[in-house]
Amino acid sequence: MGVERWSKVRKPLQIMKVEMIPISDVSPHEEIIEEEITDFIKSLKSKGIFYRPILLDRKTLVVLDGHHRVEGLRRLGAKMVPGILLDYDGEDVELYTWYPVIWQPYDEVVSFIRSKARTEDVEVNEAMEMTDNDESVFCILPDIDGMTILVHGTEEVMEIIKDRFTIEFVDTLDFLEKLDGKNGALLYRRAPTKKEVIERALSGRLYPPKTTRHYLPFRYQDIRIKLSNLF
């Protein structure tokens, strides 16, 4: 699946209220990655301490951050999950997406994608605008001579690509500076809306992993809760 690469931003610490929430009331909006679940459960059993609270929408108890921690606890039979309740409609919680980056020769990436999906060559600004308007799945960056490749289809296109290539997920388009049109391709895609996230969670039509990226302007504290206290 690949790893996440964050840009370095120093944020102030804000102590948040942590509440114990019945795990049966919590709804994910993204699918999980089995390898991460395995690693988390192994670590949790070894340490016996739960360190990082889950971020939840106050109104619906939809998971905003912590899908693998919730699923790991669920598989262990936990009844409760430590969570921080946030006003998802408020300004503090910002919603973006992760941009997949494939560190393979650009032409190889383009050739594979063209063989698996309907594409068209479009001027880069228009392609990005069409993607933002949900008229395509993604477009491929960097652009070549002002043109880029617009990719049509459904979410399954991205899953096919993930099966073929190792992907790194980056949080900003600043990483384009590392791509030269020969090595590496960034897949520019639209971020979901908050309304779409809630609808997906409540309907059970989960997004693929690494679709949403929730951002807070502050960091919050770690906790130390004995695993036995969650059962």
Q: Indicate which residues carry an active-site annotation.
A: 30
Q: Report d(CA 124, CA 188) in Å as an integer.
A: 11
Q: Report d(CA 58, CA 78) in Å as an integer.
A: 21
Is residue 216 a contact partner of residue 92, using CB atoms and an 8 Å limit?
yes
Q: What is the DSSP letter of 25?
A: G
CA distances from 158 to 15, 24, 41, 109, 226 (A): 38, 30, 28, 12, 39
Task: Give the 3-state secondary structure of residue 84.
Answer: strand
Amino acid 169 reads: F
